[in-house]
Structure 1
């Protein structure tokens, strides 16, 4: 009955642009989405099998569908954004940003004050912003204060009150920071001209202020007022210095918003740059939590609408790294070359830096989230069927064909698990044969895990090329584990990843965390194997002379070396000292051996 009801709702949907809302059986909203064609979009959720598990879960919960028809795609975008913020549905993208931002207020009054605030009051005052930090606001206000003399008092400077002499100038006047309009020392028309220049500066346009100051400087210089001219020149220098710091592209690029996105399995990170006359007047990055494995295009469309609303942007053009649909009211440009492309690249760099900073914070604040994201990313990058929570990496060591050994290192949740490391002496292979050695070690490792009913890894990494990988795969075949454990090989030089039976290697971006984890595994296996090999060679070299004594084996030699530390000390030990360590029979053999050796010398 429920399904029939849904089918009827879907069939009766209009083919118009609008917003649809999914509800569960308890009337709780599950999801809000926009569509160019409501009927076609909603129908797509029910007539195909979804790759995303989360979408499948959501579709099973849908009990009721509501919709709102609008005039255009732009209206649908805005309405979707507002409904998501209002209802915060379970399966919608979460915008991880709820801060209150600062503004610069130009107060609606005679001789307007200019000050920072977090509260926007509808009293006719002008508000510029919001800005992403108070640091930016204070920098701008310090610049304005250095250029223009503005009042800071909150007196009602009505003309009749000034004429009545109700106010007296304060310390700010005596310090030269205010011209004293409270006593009629400054005309309103002059003050308002300064306010108009301040409006332009806050918007990122310095042209009028620079022109005004240059005219004033020239006027003072012609009147031989060089001290006043120097003061004006200092203001020009301050303004030009501030402008040069903020100019990053062609000054002809004016009133443009720039957006870019980078993402991983769980989150999207969208950067916003606002440009005015080639200057960045605002930069902000938001984090968006994915709910239904949304694409970068879907995330960016939602973020553009949200950010432009939040920062009251009226720009008619935006630059983005790829095409998105924002309706007909906004011009969307995808730059390919030059200054426009450079500013999009700068925005993308900001998004990536923000993502890196979040990773560092996550490792400290929420390590579980960091691990979950890393595992999901590795699963995607390496095309695995499950997350590689348990990874094992093998490496052979047989320098100059002597003392062949192998090492197995284990990573759990992306970190070394040193208590699970294992080292192997090669037993069945004669001479330096890396392929046969790898087959032996892999077979022994997983035969033991199977016999002891220990958990198997989700991923095996073989340090070597196709030959080593084939040998390891043969061992898994013999154990009946082929296809049950993912296995790859990594070639040393070019960081090529090989899959069994795959003709071409996989190349990962050198900056990806997945490749860094694999390299760390490979390096750790190499270090562990080399250390074991070096120790074995050292013990073999030291033990050779002792083991040449008839009746003395490796075990006895090791015991003597542990006690006496060197062959020289063993040769100088008394019979009693030797007997105390290895017993009468073996102690006597060692003592007599060195006594005869001394006699010959």
Structure 2
């Protein structure tokens, strides 16, 4: 084996082939492992005919890869994979971060048979508190930024938003964005309804606001006893100063907090952070369910279904979830598992985390209750998914028969055009794949360079931009294309596909029926066949309606956003004395065009280069 590493900055990672399939039909693991480096990197398990079986990353390649070749492997699925290995290729990199990026890229490109992927694992919401002088409380999804404290993850957006609203009621922290906060001249509506203490205009002094932020942080950390003690001390201090109105505020906060804590469906009575993980396999379908407990409060759970779960055991799914989830999200102090060896789980997390949390099976009554509830919800999630899957398969088969195509479509794409009297034309492309809408692959096309209101030209531009990459062998090819429109739109769409050499893709137009009533739609064929009316009760039409309506919704929301931005920009450009420099400063000061429109004359005057006369002109023009 030739082994080289990329230690010098600027040099790419080195691909290191290990073992030759032709020379070693039976993989010699011992010889291979002896030469592996103790370096971070990515490994690829290769089977017969150069099939990539599995891609993984490691902090220490030798230790990680060696774990696959033990005598009694705890996972039958991985043991079967190991039996098929004819060689292992490794790529040595400079850091674990590089290994992670390379692993993700290879999995997406190669789609290895034995990699288990949880599609929604990175979409968990957080609650964040900014690190500036008057910290902001806000709901957050995405990559972490420096200087911001994040609390979570939460199992759902609903759970996170509910917590934000609770913190607003209890501690009156600001939620407005910085450009709005920095340019306010009077308290906003949230202050009037007692949801914000208005630090923007110094209704509350900085020291008091900082104390409220500290108490809210303790609450998010689960230290409820400390929060109540803090509020009690402040209430007593206010009483001793005969500030009874202030004391009453703290008293109400304490009561509200105790009421919230008592309302929890499952409460451990302890200030603890726990993740409860279970996996269930029923009827060939595997579900991993993650329940989250923060500060002793049960925040709900979130079922996850892995891609490519055929022949997958619950144990394998749980192991894969542990590695993927805690690679991207912070681990709590404790993880309670059901159906998996704690030693095996610990060995996986040792590879992912610098500090492994306590990993245990359910021992106490409260933990057993959490596990029981998580298993129940996992079973309900599987039953729901099986019902939806059965309905989807029935609809797809009905669609195949109705359109006279050879196979039921696995991927459907639908296009719609939206504009307001020719203004701000937007085309949408939505995707249905597997068993439902795949929102991560939706696309919008801002249409330019056409005559306003020319839907045919807009459709041509959208389809050309979408499918020219497919024609070049790069993009994902759909099995069926739906066009929201009649003969004209479907004719243009067919011309585009023919020009690109993609006329073999099935396509049909969805024309509104008489009086535009649902159920009376007609399907328009590009080859001139008579239109087909399926009838309102036809299962294929139900599926078409769902996809078509989603394309319509996605196009309209994009068009409205573009129209609003275009109109406001054009209004700014038409105001005398507001040139490119002032427009830029206005947008930067208020965080966008919408913020400029909401600003008062006094707010506008605080922007550099804007005097009162120009501020009044801007104010009047945007409200004209």
Structure with larger Rg: 1
